[in-house]
Amino acid sequence: MKNTNPRRTVRSQTAFKGGSYSLVITVVVLALLIVANIFVCAMPTTLTKYDISSTKLYSITSNTKVVVNALRQDVTIYWVVQSGEEDDVIENLLGKYESLSDHIEVVKKNPDVFPTFTEQYTDETVPNNSLIVESGERSRYISYNDIYVTEADVYSYSYTTSFDGEGAITSAIDYVVTEDLPQLYILEGHGEAELPSTFSDQIEKENYEINTLSLLTVDEIPEDAACIVIYAPSSDISEEEEQMLADYVTGGGKLLVMAGPTEDGTLENLYGLLSDYGVEAAEGIVIESDREHYAFGSPYILMPDMISHEITDSLMEANYFPIMPIAQGLTVSGSASKGTVTELLTTSDTAFSKIAGYSLSTYEKEEDDIDGGFAVAVSIEDNSGGQIVWFASSNFLDNMYNAYSSGANVDMGMNALSFLAGEREAIAIRSKSLNYNYLTISESTSSLLKTLMIGAFPLVYLGIGICVILRKRKVQNETV
């Protein structure tokens, strides 16, 4: 007769029931996960993807949200890309734009399938992952090279790469849906320098239309002028031109000036525009004697202090510092009744102006030199509502000095332009750096981390595993 152990039978039945129950639970959980995955995939990317990158590479700013949410007409973004060559970052960014507004549609155009599609928008060679933004009769082409921007690093003699996808796309959307873009007039006829490429590119990106203006050929300044820009003149304006500009400002006009000392001295008529507001220009070139207020061992390359203002606040918050090379010293008396003057950039109290100007032979203060401190940038509010922002350096926006300041000079110039011509939501979206930031640790710390990661932690986990197994066996033996 077969001897059956009742305890073993009960244990087997219990194990069978437990196994069946676990199988059912596993099937139910897998079904729920499949349903949840399908549901999540159907949700917009803004709800399913989170940006944990240090530069917020996969996020969009409030500026973009304002522009997109204000859309009243349809915008199509053509994504020119071969199948299988899609850039993940661009794809994620386009998904966010599409999910923000029903007026935005992203359409892929494979150049292998549509080889002539881009010819109606540009005659350039179009690389993969380029974009074309279109609305109605207006369009803008965005090259892949304008999305991933590579620039020379003047400090390390290497190249840095940044991602400017959001800035380029939002600017393009703003451009194609805006009929009346603000008009900038660049003064000419006095040996003015050409606008530096970095500054002019930024102006174009922020959708200002640039025109040239000679005051010798017009009776009055055009009514549609959002702002007049005077950049690096090498000779003075006439008294008649000075009066036209003064009348323009007192009539509510906006004036942005970047003008410093010239080899022939001070531009008296041009700087005469400031005298009505109690601002006087010192003869010569400003020299700093405080080492903390000049850069690269050159006392004429100033690192001025910034005063809180709408133009400077964003730079101060981000710890960017503009550089002012070869500047004219401005003295603000504060006694003018025509308007209010605010100093934006100031030297130290120990700065002085070298009367010799471009002919100086020493950086030491001499008997005839003029004591500081000075302002080297001011903002003026005329009582009529007109405005002037004045940078007392003709080299302020040069590409080289802008690179030295890590872009702070052009940022400040664009902040001033925005302040004068009116704030636009499509502006001020900075590109996002793609360069790696490396953590530097000492050799002793490195050795400690290796010991912990390779030796200690695995041994601890092994010990915990052994203890768990021994404890389970002990419990099983006690049950039997």
Q: What is the pLDDT along the chain (480 residues), one digit of tens a residue?
A: 455 555 555 555 555 555 566 667 777 877 887 877 676 666 555 555 555 455 556 677 787 888 888 899 999 999 999 999 999 989 999 999 999 999 999 999 999 999 999 999 999 999 999 999 999 999 999 999 988 877 655 555 566 777 888 888 988 998 899 888 889 999 999 999 999 988 998 888 888 889 999 998 898 899 999 999 999 999 999 999 999 999 999 999 999 999 999 988 778 999 999 988 999 999 999 999 998 899 888 999 999 999 999 999 988 988 889 999 999 999 998 766 788 999 999 999 999 999 998 888 899 999 889 998 899 999 999 999 999 999 999 999 998 898 888 889 999 999 999 899 876 554 556 666 565 444 444 556 667 777 887 877 788 878 888 888 888 777 777 665
- 193-234, pLDDT tens digit by residue? 999 988 998 888 888 889 999 998 898 899 999 999 999 999
Q: What is the pLDDT of residue 423?
A: 61
Q: What is the pLDDT of residue 234?
A: 93
Cβ–Cβ under 8 Å, residues 344 and 306: yes
Structure tokens at 475: 């419990």
The rounded distance, in Å, linking the Cα atoms of 172 and 91 is: 17
Host H or E run for residue 185? strand 183-187
Q: What sign results for the dihedral spanned by CA atoms 349, 352, 353, 358?
A: negative
pTM (global) more than 0.85: no
Q: What is the largest CA-CA distance in the chain?
A: 129
Residues 6+ apart with CB under 8 A from 310: 415, 419
Provide the 3-class DSSP secondary structure of residue 450.
helix
Residues 6+ apart with CB under 8 A from 402: 196, 198, 199, 408, 409, 410
